[in-house]
Amino acid sequence: MTEIKTRQVKVDTERFYILNPVPPFVDIMLRSYSVSPLDFARIVELTFGYRNDPRLVEMVRKAGDASAKVAYLIDSNETPSTILDMLRGIAQPHVEYLQTLPDKVQATIKGLLSINTVPQGCENYSIPALLELDRIQGKITKALKDKMVGRELAQEFHKDNMAALRLLDKDWARLRSQKKATWGSTQPIPEQSQMQFVPVFENKRLKKLYETCVIVDSPGTKTLQKFIPPVLKRPLPENEPLPAMGSADWLIREVGKVGRHFTRALLKIINDRLDAEKIPLEAGNYELINRRAQEALKEFIERTP
C-alpha cells in the first residue's frame, strides 16, 4: 500500500480494476469506411491532444456518479439537492435548445444517448446529432469548470484522484509482474495502466474497438457519495425512476458518453472541416453537414500519410 502524504490519504494500488469498455458511436461514424491499422494509428494520434486523463472520469463513475459531473460542484456548503439544482440550471438551456431541433434530429439524439443506436430512417442525421451533443457536452463542461473555481472539496477530490493515478502508474510494472503468475481471469493484464485503444481487425479492416485502462478506487469516494443526487447515482437506486427521456436529468446523466477520447478525435476531424468551410452547426445546414462530415472522414482515411 502506498500513501499520499497530503491530508493522510491512502491509496491501495494493489486493489486495481481493469476496464475494457467499448466506446460508443465509433461504429456509427465509421460504418461506411474501411479503417486500416495505419488509419487507426493516425486517429489514435489525435487523442494525444486531449490533456485530461480519461481515467479520471472512470474513477468518478466507479465512485457512484453516473454523470461524472457532481465532482465539479462538491463543497462544504452543498447538498445533493443544491448540486442537482445547479446541474439542472446548467442543462436546462440545452434541453430547451434540443426541443427546437427537427423531429428526426431529436429522435436521433434520444436514441444515441439512451441506447447508443440510431432510429431506423434517421441514419443521415447521426453525425449532425453527435456534433450537437459534442457541442453541448463542451459547454456544460466549461460551465462546470468555471463553477469549480474556489470549491476546495472539488479541487482536493480532483488532485487526489490524479495523485492516485500517478501512484498506480509508478507501481504498475511491479503490480503487473506480481499478478501475472496468479492472474486467473481470461482478461489479459494490460502492459500499461494508462488508457489504451485496442482494435479488432478483420481482413485488415477495423471491426470493433475497445478501450482498456487500469484504475483504483478514488481516495475521495466516501466524500463524493455524500453529494450524489439519487437520480445521478450509479447504479440507480431501486426506488428511483429513470429520468424521463429528453429531461434535464436525462441529459446530465447521459451526455458525457460523447466525450470519450476516440469519439472526440473523430468529431474533431469533422469539426475542423466545418470550421474551414465556415459551415455553422445549424438545423438548416444538417444535410450539408452530413455530406461534409462524410467527405472529411473519407479524406482523412484515404489520405496518404
CA of residue 154 relative to chain centroid, distance: 19
Name the strand (E) or helix (H) holding 158: helix 152-180
Residue type at position 109: I
**pLDDT digits 0-9 by tens, 101-114:** 999 999 999 999 99
Confidence of residue 305 (pLDDT cuts 50, 70, 90): low
pLDDT, one tens digit per residue, over 173-222 is: 999 988 765 565 667 789 999 999 989 888 888 888 889 999 999 999 99
Strands laid side by side in the 196-202 sheet: 16-19, 205-216, 196-202
pTM: 0.89
* Residue 304 banded pLDDT, cuts 50, 70, 90: low
Asked if 282 contacts 124 with a C-beta cutoff of 8 angstroms, the reply is no
Read off the pLDDT band of 8 (50, 70, 90): low
pLDDT of residue 188: 78
CB 51 within 8 A of CB 287: no
Most confident of 16-25, 89-98, 261-270: 89-98
Distance CA 164, CA 294 (A): 41
Q: Residue 134 has which C-alpha cell? A: 459534442
Cα 261 from Cα 255, distance rounded (Å): 14
- 18 φ, ψ (degrees, to nearest 5): -100, 120
Q: Which of 198, 211, 187, 178 is nearest to 14 (CA)?
A: 178
> Could you tell me which residue, 183 or 12, shows the higher pLDDT?
12
Residue-wise pLDDT for 53-98, tens only, equals: 999 999 999 999 999 999 999 999 999 999 999 999 999 999 999 9
